[in-house]
Amino acid sequence: MREAHPIETAVGMEHYVSDADGVGGRLRDEDRDFRVTELEQFGAEPLDADTGSYPHLVVRATLAGWDTNDFARRLSDALGISRERVSWAGTKDKHAVTTQLFSLRSVDPDDLPDVRGAEMTPVGRAGRAVQFGDLAGNEFAVVVRDPERPENADAIIEELRAFTGGDADADDGATTVGVPNYFGQQRFGSRRPVTHEVGLHVVREEWEAAVMAYVGNPYETEPEDTRRARRRVEEVAPDWDAALDALPRKLGFERAMVHELVENGGDAPADFRAALEALPTNLQRLLVNAAQSYAFNRMLSERLRRGLPFDRPVEGDVVAFAETVDGLTVPDTDRRQRVTAERVRTVERHCERGRAFVTAPLVGTETELADGEQGDVERAVLADLDLAPEDFDLPGEFDSSGTRRAILVRTDLELDRDPLTFEFSLPSGSYATVLLREFLKTDPLDVS
């Protein structure tokens, strides 16, 4: 089994599925080389709908070179509103051209500002904000520049096809391939993959350690000026005034946290928790989500190492039955079944026909672990991380009841040769880079 790059191993992705050498090359030489279009499932009323009943303006935005959080902050600043009044369904990468929905509470279409690198079109009004569950999936068109071995793509496709159980080609000539449904590098920070480290401290209620892991903790792949600032914070803490002076303005979230410590004194656990709560609510949730995602990745890597199948269950697995959303077949994690010895073959047939998915947990307070060998995998990973489901009974945005997630993601892949271009669709929450890493097998910074 081919080992992953050390940066990937650090976030729990320990192996590749395919043994063939990669094609090499680079992603995102230009933003237009990585195009993402949301598959939406959000209904909006006409623009002239009553603003009392439908206070949220729904906007479709095409963004070039914008991280979603940064764009939301820029948009809220331009409108003079709180960032909490800007909502979206899916967070997208900065180095891409992305088309996605936003909702803006109590904003008039005529007030939309001009923002560099953004084209915004009002599409209607809604009675509630756009939320994560409103995203069915994403379509991708990704160009690989300067591949050294483009011919290797065929061998990799065959290995990924076999990983799905050897499905036939799709009706449109595409090939059905599959990979472990890992959380990609972006979930943890592409250049500074520490979000899960912060989240693990949060789950253990180590509030000061969580703050320092976020604000200090320099990482070798980030720019030198931010490394220098983080080292300075570690040197001067707990002199929070000096720490604030050390942080450049571009580290806005870090500055907000340290400012909270300046205001509160920064010498009690409650002060450090308040500093973390200075982050936007979606980022507070992301910290715990990253800890859950890291544990999930570790579980998938261990299942892969043990040679357990991903496309079909073994005794003790928990499966989720399928539903179809906007043409994508996705797991309905509210419809689950534990696979007994007597039911293995029956559930195998459901999985072969795309009617069910084997799952692993995103651990939370309501998590029930699997039985059998997969249960051994889940318990071993949690023991190694010193985690238990009850640890996620936390205050505010840090609380999580948990869920389960499919361990395999399939897609119909189309490949063009000149330039080398991959076109595919993935359900919400699955990462294009997890598929593309199998093809490039390069430094993750050339993929993420």
Q: Which of the residues are catalytic?
A: 93
Question: Which is nearest to 306 in space by CA: 378, 370, 357?
Answer: 378
Q: Hey, what are 414's tokens?
A: 């189309």
Q: Do the Cβ atoms of 272 and 395 come closer than 8 Å?
A: no
Residue located via tokens 């820029």 = 74
Alpha helix stretches (DSSP H) within 309-354: 344-352
Instruction: List CB contacts of 42: < 8 A, sequence separation 6 or more.
Output: 58, 89, 101, 126, 130, 134
Which H or E run contains 9? helix 6-9
Q: Which residues pair with 338 in a beta bridge?
A: 318
Question: Which is nearest to 98 in space by CA: 69, 65, 130, 72?
Answer: 65
Q: Do the Cβ atoms of 404 and 333 come closer than 8 Å?
A: yes
Q: Do the Cβ atoms of 331 and 359 come closer than 8 Å?
A: yes
Helix axes 269-276, 207-215, angle to 10 degrees: 50
Q: Please, what is the Cα angle at 66 between 41 and 96, to 5 degrees?
A: 75
Phi first, then psi, for residue 36 (nearest 5°) are -130, 130
Give dist(CA 413, CA 415) in Å, integer: 7
